[in-house]
Structure 1
Amino acid sequence: MFTNDNTECSTKVTVISQNKFDKWLEKQPTFIRNWCLSNNFKGENSKILKIPYPDGRLKEVLIGEGLNQDLSGVSDFSAKNKGNYYLFIKFADSKEIEIQKAWAWGGYKFNKSSPKNLIYVKNPETLRYLDHYLEFTNLSRDLINTPANELNPKSFLSLVKRNKFFEKFIFTDYSQTKIKSKFPLTYAVGQSSTIKPEILHISNKKISKKDKPIVIIGKGVTFDTGGVNIKPGNSMRNMKKDMGGAAIAISLFLMANSLLKKSKIMLIIPMAENSVSGNSMRPGDIYSSSNGKKVEISHTDAEGRLLLADAMELANTYNPSLIIDFATLTGAARVALGEDIPAYFSNDEEVAKKIDTLNQKKIRAWRLPLYHPYKNKLNSQNANLCNASLDGMAGSITAALFIEDFIENKKTPWIHFDTYAWSSGSILKTQGAALQGLDIMIEYLNKYFS
């Protein structure tokens, strides 16, 4: 998909902002000006115009990004066309790397062969970055798109262990007995299924407490029925994607390992299937975390935060410099922000300011408050706290407050993403797996930890 051999790439792809279209147009020869006018091309978002040579061969491709750096046209063109190309972006608003990533995004196909196209990348370091980005995000999208009868906790763990990207990493293995004692909340969720829970625990180097690693956590619910508080049919339709947080965490771990040569990085993914059976956890059940914190189950469909709570307690033992977690956690976040923009929470104002700085040119995540007065919505008469509020309000905030309660050192910087991991077509004109929150965290780690 990417090459640094410019002899192969002969067709020009010009990405044009609608804001700069007039300036671009006045520099064009008469034929191209007339061709644009007759095809009503003005740099609008997603609009693609092919310009021929007099003999009919393709000379140039124009792709509009509209007024707001919309790269859907780039992704769409990459998805549907073969050939060898190079970019011209002088009149685009988007950065070249974002255009290249959109090209990579469009070239993905699940269980199908993609169109064979190449785009020229001049800088060898950028080429290496894009090759890794393409490989790692394709893996994560494959994981999300794989049906739940094929991807379950056991097969998920096995797939990662066999994958070439993980050959040099250090795995920590857990027996079912260990999972029951060290990850009891995950075990409670997964006990309903015939396929028992698993833990994916990886580090890129040997890690001790003094190392203060970056810890990346993902929710790995491979299918979510809602448990005995069962979801309606429409809400369950795409619940194979409920391990989307885990898939995003995997891509971030791999990209961080590639970019941060000196950093020690850990990945923790508790994996379970939230099924319905005689062994299912029930509302009113009480389970103790590995540190003895008692949790009363108020709703069985608030299961993902139980997995994250276990992961947080493990992360605490490594004295992390930063914890980042991703989870397809609440419908409340989607009601507030829709499918494209993940909600994020942070307990550290300096961290949040840095993220918001990365958001200035283009919004990729939106901060919601850790409003601690809402913690009383999780009060329990019989345990330390309930797993969910039942009043129907501030669901994303109370979920974040629940997770935060399991961070031992309250000064540990923590970023929590309540994401969607799916696109119905609004993200670069693609449907299926999506990785909302990944790009801004790659940029964050690369800028502040490399």
Structure 2
Amino acid sequence: MTDYSDLLKADNNQPAHMIRIVDAESFESWLSAQPQRVRAIVAAQKFAGKGYEHAIIPGDEPSDWSVVAGVANRSKLSSWCLAKLAETLPEGQYRLAEGMAGPAMLGWLTAQYRFDRYRRDDNAAGPRVLLTGEVAQIDATVRLAEAVALVRDLVNIPAGDMGPAQLEEEAAKVAESFGARFTVTKGDPLEQGFPMIHAVGRAAGKEFAPRLIELRWGDLKHPRVAIVGKGICFDSGGLDIKPSSAMRLMKKDMGGAAHALALARLIMGARLPVQLHVLIPAAENAVGANAFRPGDILRSRKGLTVEIGNTDAEGRLVLADALTLAGEDDPELVIDYATLTGAARVAVGPDLPALFTNDDALAAEMDAGGSEVDDPSWRLPLWDGYADMLKSDIADINNAGEGGFAGAITAALFLKRFVPDKAKWIHLDTFAWRPSPKPGRPKGGEALGLRAVFRLLEQRYENSGRK
């Protein structure tokens, strides 16, 4: 992982290139105040003060040059407004003439993310270091960047190198870093205690055997928060096998688990006063002689019987058993992340996680927090009127609705049956992937809905229960 602490440092008047920020409104007044030489240089570089544009302004000496950069709104910097600079400027140290980068420090860091596990880029530029006077924000910003990078790394690693056992190893590293209690359930205990997790993963064989990974941390006197992440390390669709085009990206079907681990890192790193319980049902949905079949009836940990309408709707099965266990500790808040439905992507596209919740105030907090940290989601309804789509003639519930309508909603309604009645609940159906690059956000695995939830938790718990 990139060492982000080396890219954001306290400004102690070290030598650095100056970056001056302008926007469309201030560009002309800035330009008119410049000498003719600078105006000619700016014109030659076709810089007009627009967002993500910049120009290099030479000084009197070869190393004495500065930067003028365009942003959308210089009075309210976004997380990504300086990210293009961090991607394209030469190696070196920089400081803002305006002094404060605020949220843009995150984009400066995430823009320098590299996934180089399988290919070394000998032509990659060296580090671009941002000097800042906002010293109190450095550690928190670095932790955010590290959490984003963790999601990206775990999702980008192919399924052959990121099966349930490897996901367990990554979770163990997170637990060890913060002294959290770590347990894993697999084999016969998994089959007996979490039958749907076992059923989904049993065809993958011993090397990729299913398991339930748990992490517990925090003072038992603090409020209980459960985080559940779907950990389907590869999804063939099972016997209802996917076409090759749909299977190509299924290494990312453990993106929910990646988000859960990254959120746990943020919570523990900030020492939020909560009693944290992380649950990751990890499995590979494979094809084999002992694969679960369409029409099978599975008995869940909760005791509800589930008819399998489609083996490719497996994520909700493993989440259901994990949510049931989470509810047995009576948490006040349950959050789950899952790359659950293609229907959510059709509804809101790749950038917006589909948000479902049983609490309107919680939805408003998510919306406000997401807007504040440039990590939006979009609420879809938990419309009970569609529950009939999950009816079964021979079991308590079917795992897949008929007709193809409201797929993201019916999936959320399925999960709702396993969420504890008294708990507030957030379900994020996230893509965990960026199909095309944007400044600070390369193509590939991506954290979507991570920072918004962490901001919500900070606002709810940061100043409560501290000793």
Q: TM-score, normalised by structure 1?
A: 0.91
CA distances 1:372-412 after superposition (whole Å, capped 9, x unpaired)? 10111111111111111131111111111111110122x31
Structure 2: distance between partners of 1:40 and 1:307: 54
Match runs of 1:34-433 below 5 Å: 34-57=40-63, 59-66=65-72, 74-80=82-88, 81-88=90-97, 96-111=101-116, 112=120, 115-162=126-173, 166-194=177-205, 195-205=208-218, 207=220, 211-360=222-371, 364-409=376-421, 411-428=422-439, 429-433=441-445
Quote the offset at 1:284 in angstroms: 0.8
Q: Structure 1 residues 5, 292: closer, same or farther in 2, change over 3 A? A: same
- Supply the AA of the counterpart residue of 1:139: L
Q: Structure 1 residues 237, 58: closer, same or farther in 2, change over 3 A? A: farther
Q: Structure 1 residues 424, 131: closer, same or farther in 2, change over 3 A? A: same
Quote the offset at 1:136 in angstroms: 2.7
Structure 2: distance between partners of 1:302 and 1:339: 20
Given that residues 9 and 129 in structure 2 are in contact (C-alpha distance below 8 angstroms), is that contact kept between their aligned partners in structure 1? yes
Quote the offset at 1:309 in angstroms: 0.8
- Supply the AA of the counterpart residue of 1:82: E
Structure 1: distance between partners of 2:431 and 2:222: 32
- Supply the AA of the counterpart residue of 1:250: L
Structure 2: distance between partners of 1:303 and 1:204: 29
Quote the offset at 1:251 in angstroms: 1.1
Q: What SS is found at the alignment partner of 2:427?
A: strand
Q: Structure 1 residues 245, 57: closer, same or farther in 2, change over 3 A? A: same
Q: Structure 1 residues 356, 133: closer, same or farther in 2, change over 3 A? A: closer
Given that residues 199 and 271 in structure 1 are in contact (C-alpha distance below 8 angstroms), is that contact kept between their aligned partners in structure 2? yes
Structure 2: gaps spanning 5 or more residues: 1-6, 463-467
Q: Structure 1 residues 326, 97: closer, same or farther in 2, change over 3 A? A: farther
CA distances 1:132-162 after superposition (whole Å, capped 9, x unpaired)? 2233322222111111111100121023324
Q: Structure 1 residues 152, 206: closer, same or farther in 2, change over 3 A? A: farther
CA distances 1:249-307 after superposition (whole Å, capped 9, x unpaired)? 11111111222432221211110011111111111111011121111111111111112
CA distances 1:56-89 after superposition (whole Å, capped 9, x unpaired)? 4352223333479776563333234411112345
Q: Structure 1 residues 421, 24: closer, same or farther in 2, change over 3 A? A: farther
- Supply the AA of the counterpart residue of 1:35: I
Structure 2: distance between partners of 1:17 and 1:332: 38
Given that residues 223 and 273 in structure 2 are in contact (C-alpha distance below 8 angstroms), is that contact kept between their aligned partners in structure 1? no
Q: Structure 1 residues 69, 117: closer, same or farther in 2, change over 3 A? A: closer
Given that residues 15 and 63 in structure 1 are in contact (C-alpha distance below 8 angstroms), is that contact kept between their aligned partners in structure 2? yes
Moved more, 54-63 or 305-314: 54-63
Moved more, 125-134 or 283-292: 125-134
- Supply the AA of the counterpart residue of 1:252: L
The answer to whether the aligner puts 1:442 opposite 2:454 as a matched pair is yes
Structure 2: distance between partners of 1:365 and 1:159: 27
Q: Structure 1 residues 14, 191: closer, same or farther in 2, change over 3 A? A: farther
Given that residues 217 and 267 in structure 1 are in contact (C-alpha distance below 8 angstroms), is that contact kept between their aligned partners in structure 2? yes
Given that residues 45 and 71 in structure 1 are in contact (C-alpha distance below 8 angstroms), is that contact kept between their aligned partners in structure 2? no
Structure 2: distance between partners of 1:438 and 1:123: 23
CA distances 1:5-34 after superposition (whole Å, capped 9, x unpaired)? 434451123344335434544554544444
Q: What SS is found at the alignment partner of 2:301?
A: coil
Structure 2: distance between partners of 1:279 and 1:253: 34
Moved more, 369-378 or 72-81: 72-81
Q: What SS is found at the alignment partner of 1:416?
A: strand
Structure 1: distance between partners of 2:127 and 2:166: 30
Quote the offset at 1:226 in angstroms: 1.0
Quote the offset at 1:444 in angstroms: 1.3
Structure 1: distance between partners of 2:36 and 2:97: 20
Q: What SS is found at the alignment partner of 1:196?
A: coil
Q: Structure 1 residues 82, 344: closer, same or farther in 2, change over 3 A? A: same
- Supply the AA of the counterpart residue of 2:413: L
How many residues are treated as equivalent by the alignment?
A: 443
Given that residues 46 and 71 in structure 1 are in contact (C-alpha distance below 8 angstroms), is that contact kept between their aligned partners in structure 2? no
Quote the offset at 1:324 in angstroms: 1.0
- Supply the AA of the counterpart residue of 2:107: A
- Supply the AA of the counterpart residue of 2:318: L
Moved more, 198-207 or 240-249: 198-207
Structure 1: gaps spanning 5 or more residues: none
Given that residues 45 and 70 in structure 1 are in contact (C-alpha distance below 8 angstroms), is that contact kept between their aligned partners in structure 2? no
Given that residues 77 and 101 in structure 2 are in contact (C-alpha distance below 8 angstroms), is that contact kept between their aligned partners in structure 1? no
- Supply the AA of the counterpart residue of 1:36: V
Structure 1: distance between partners of 2:276 and 2:15: 38
- Supply the AA of the counterpart residue of 2:163: N
Given that residues 356 and 427 in structure 2 are in contact (C-alpha distance below 8 angstroms), is that contact kept between their aligned partners in structure 1? yes
Identity rate of aligned residues, in percent? 33
Given that residues 203 and 265 in structure 1 are in contact (C-alpha distance below 8 angstroms), is that contact kept between their aligned partners in structure 2? yes
Q: What SS is found at the alignment partner of 1:272?
A: strand
Moved more, 339-348 or 261-270: 261-270
Quote the offset at 1:238 in angstroms: 1.3
Given that residues 390 and 401 in structure 2 are in contact (C-alpha distance below 8 angstroms), is that contact kept between their aligned partners in structure 1? yes
Structure 2: distance between partners of 1:360 and 1:130: 17
Q: TM-score, normalised by structure 2?
A: 0.88
Aligned to 2:4: none
Structure 1: distance between partners of 2:151 and 2:15: 29
